């Protein structure tokens, strides 16, 4: 792995060289070592557009890993969710249930198909949609539930699948952050009707920009392939199943380039190495920040018993917004980048236009204002992690 030198400088004194951190980044895109070789192989194959050998290897890898009947790489998780939304054949006015504490694409994908978004509050322990509040948000217009596995920690999928079954609703898992995480032994993304992964550079496994859709029902696979290929049956044509391809349905261009898939495949081959490295950092943060939690200064993430998480992020919760702002500034003064998200969607201009919040916003806004994400990426050095822990500890020792 190339040394992450951008945040490092070397000082020479007494004929010795000292490494000095000048900035601890929040994220460094994953790089495992074989990416260039595979990109070169894709170039040598003279196949740069999608669905070449690397795209197929990635799809197969995920099918085997998750047990999903069909996985298709896409150009982003946003596009995987849009594809799922098109699959639902939504009518204007149909409703989709979404947590307000999420990335815009979770809601936007359905708004593009004319749906109205019904926001539901989160649980403060996992920051995931509160499964107990979903049923109250269902009307005769409801078509789907979109659980978001925040930080790669699973939503209560048994309860959500049960509600969906009883009300005949589709479940689209936003597992953008949940690659390699599990709920009761099942891969996140492979539990609902559709699952959506992200391989953006901020994610555990990356291709720069990219994603995947996981499809549970094998009968839906062909329709998904057509939507992904601009509404044509070109994939069937390339497989020799039809003698010409044609415009079959609504669709768009959701097929990523082989170059991106080649970059991703190098990481999938070493998925466990990346997983272990992140978990190691996550556990160190947890252990070293526990004294602050025990003294009541901060809260630490909660992982329910049935969940295997992928260490997608490490966050702490401060007392309130004011304290989080002061801590973020304190860390910045020490050249540590810590970030927060999301502005709850129901209070955003588009959220007000396209959605409504069902029930009371008891936790979404309050908890979102307390949460602060600490630097975490594949290859984060122990010394940098300890610098972050020390800075947070110093802040609360003031
Ligand atoms: C919960 C969630 N959903 C969707 C997305 C969108 O992913 P992408 O950037 O691959 O479109 C993100 C990206 O950060 C996300 O965190």
Round to whole Å and give the CA distance between 237 and 395.
62
Average pLDDT of 209-228? 98
Please, which residues have CB within 8 angstroms of residue 347's CB and are 6 or more apart in sequence? 100, 365
Pocket flag, ligand 1, residue 106 (CB < 6 Å): yes
248 burial via Cβ count (<10 Å: 0-12, 13-18, 19+): middle
Atom number, ligand 1, closest to the C-alpha of residue 210: 10
Pocket test for ligand 1, best of 29, 99, 177, 264 (most atoms within 8 A of CB): 177
Average pLDDT, the chain: 95
DSSP three-state, residue 67: coil
**Dist. CA 367–CA 381, nearest whole Å:** 29
Residue carrying structure tokens 């030198």: 5
pLDDT for residue 9? 53
Residue 105, ligand 1, Cβ within 6 A: yes
Strand pairing class (211-215; 70-74):
antiparallel
pLDDT of residue 2: 41
User: Are 159 and 153 within 8 A, CB to CB?
Assistant: no
- Decide: 75 in ligand 1 pocket, CB within 6 A: no
198 CB within 6 A, ligand 1: yes
Q: Judge whether 1 and 31 are in contact, CB under 8 Å.
A: yes
Where in 255-362 does DSSP place strands (E)?
307-308, 314-317, 355-357
Residues 6 or more apart whose CB falls under 8 angstroms from that of 289 comprise 298, 300, 316, 389, 392, 393
**What confidence score (pLDDT) does residue 7 get?**
55
User: What's the average model confidence in pLDDT over 43-70?
Assistant: 96
Per-residue confidence (pLDDT) for residue 19, from 0 to 100: 58
Report whether residue 74 contacts ligand 1, using a CB cutoff of 6 Å.
no
The pLDDT, as a whole number, for residue 105 is: 98
Residue 373, ligand 1, Cβ within 6 A: no
Sheet holding 170-174, edge to edge: 70-74, 211-215, 194-198, 170-174, 142-145, 95-99, 116-120, 355-357
Residues 6+ apart with CB under 8 A from 395: 326, 327, 330, 331
User: What is the torsion angle, in degrees rounded to the nearest 10, for the CA atoms of residue 102, residue 152, residue 209 and residue 342?
Assistant: 20
CA nearest neighbour of 338 among 392, 297, 381, 290: 392
Contacts of 262 by beta carbon, 8 Å cutoff, 6+ apart: 35, 38, 39, 41, 42, 54
206 ligand 1 Cβ < 6 A: no
Could you tell me the distance, in angstroms and rounded to a whole number, from the CA of residue 354 to the centre of ligand 1?
19
Pairing of strands 371-374, 186-187: unpaired
Q: Is the CB–ligand 1 distance for residue 103 below 6 Å?
A: yes
Q: Is the pLDDT of residue 362 over 90?
A: yes
Give dist(CA 175, CA 190) in Å, integer: 9
Ligand 1 pocket, residue 128 CB under 6 Å: no
How many angstroms is it from 176 CA to the middle of ligand 1?
Answer: 5
- Interatomic CA distance for residues 168 and 159, integer angstroms: 14
- Residue 259, CA distances (Å) to 80, 154, 179, 318 in order: 19, 31, 21, 42
Angstrom CA distances, 281 to 149, 180, 312, 353, 380, stand at 20, 16, 11, 41, 7
Q: Is the CB of 211 under 6 A from ligand 1?
A: yes
* pLDDT tens profile 1-25: 344 445 555 556 566 665 555 589 9
Ligand 1 near 203 CB (within 6 A): no
Give the pLDDT score at 3: 42
Transcribe 204-255 into DSSP letters: SS--SS-EEEEESSGGGHHHHHHHHBTTB-HHHHHTTSSSS--B-SS--B-P
Mean pLDDT within 71-97: 97
For residue 148, the ligand 1 atom closest to its alpha carbon is 1
**What distance in angstroms lies between residue 87's CA and the mean position of ligand 1's atoms?**
19
Best residue for ligand 1 mutational test, from 151, 176, 207 (most atoms within 8 Å of Cβ)? 176
Distance (Å) from CA 316 to ligand 1 centroid: 21
User: Atom 7 (ligand 1): residue with closest C-alpha?
Assistant: 77
Q: From CA 120, how far away is CA 101, in angstroms rounded? A: 9
CB 17 within 8 A of CB 10: yes
Ligand 1 atom at minimum distance from 105 CA: 4
27 lines ligand 1 (CB under 6 A): no
Give residue-wise pLDDT tens across range 133-167: 999 999 999 999 999 999 999 999 999 999 999 99
pLDDT digits (tens, 9 = 90+) for 250-300: 999 999 999 999 999 999 999 999 999 999 999 999 999 999 999 999 999
């Amino acid at each position: 792995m190339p040394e992450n030198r951008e945040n490092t400088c070397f000082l020479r004194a007494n004929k010795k060289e000292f490494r000095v951190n000048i900035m601890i980044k929040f994220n460094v895109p994953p790089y495992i070592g074989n990416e260039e070789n595979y990109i070169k192989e894709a170039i040598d194959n003279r196949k740069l557009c999608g669905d070449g050998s690397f795209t197929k290897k990635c799809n197969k890898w995920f099918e085997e890993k998750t047990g999903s009947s069909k996985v298709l790489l896409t150009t982003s998780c946003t596009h995987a969710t849009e594809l799922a939304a098109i699959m639902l054949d939504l009518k204007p006015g149909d409703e989709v249930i979404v947590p307000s504490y999420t990335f815009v694409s979770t809601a936007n994908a359905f708004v593009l198909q004319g749906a109205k978004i019904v926001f539901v509050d989160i649980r403060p322990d996992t920051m995931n949609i509160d499964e107990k509040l979903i049923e109250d948000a269902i009307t005769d217009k409801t078509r789907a539930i979109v659980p978001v596995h925040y930080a790669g920690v699973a939503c209560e999928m048994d309860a959500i699948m049960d509600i969906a079954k009883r009300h005949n609703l589709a479940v689209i898992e936003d597992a953008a952050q949940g690659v390699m995480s599990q709920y009761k032994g099942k891969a996140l993304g492979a539990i609902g009707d559709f699952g959506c992964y992200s391989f953006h550079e901020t994610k555990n496994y990356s291709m720069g920009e990219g994603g995947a859709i996981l499809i549970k029902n094998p009968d839906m696979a062909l329709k998904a392939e057509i939507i992904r290929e601009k509404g044509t049956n070109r994939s069937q044509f390339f497989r020799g199943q039809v003698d010409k391809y044609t415009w079959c349905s609504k669709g768009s261009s959701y097929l990523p380039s082989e170059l991106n898939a080649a970059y991703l495949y190098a990481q999938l081959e070493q998925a466990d190495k990346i997983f272990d490295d992140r978990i190691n950092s996550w556990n160190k943060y947890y252990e070293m920040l526990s004294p602050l939690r025990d003294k009541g200064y901060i809260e630490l993430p909660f992982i329910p018993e049935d969940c295997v998480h992928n260490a997608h992020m490490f966050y702490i919760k401060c007392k309130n917004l004011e304290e989080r702002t002061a801590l973020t500034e304190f860390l910045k003064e020490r050249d540590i980048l810590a970030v927060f998200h999301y502005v709850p969607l129901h209070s955003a201009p588009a959220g007000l236009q396209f959605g409504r919040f069902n029930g009371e916003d008891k936790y979404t806004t309050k908890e979102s204002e307390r949460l602060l994400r600490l630097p975490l990426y594949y290859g984060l050095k122990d010394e940098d992690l300890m610098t972050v822990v020390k800075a947070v500890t110093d802040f609360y020792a003031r």
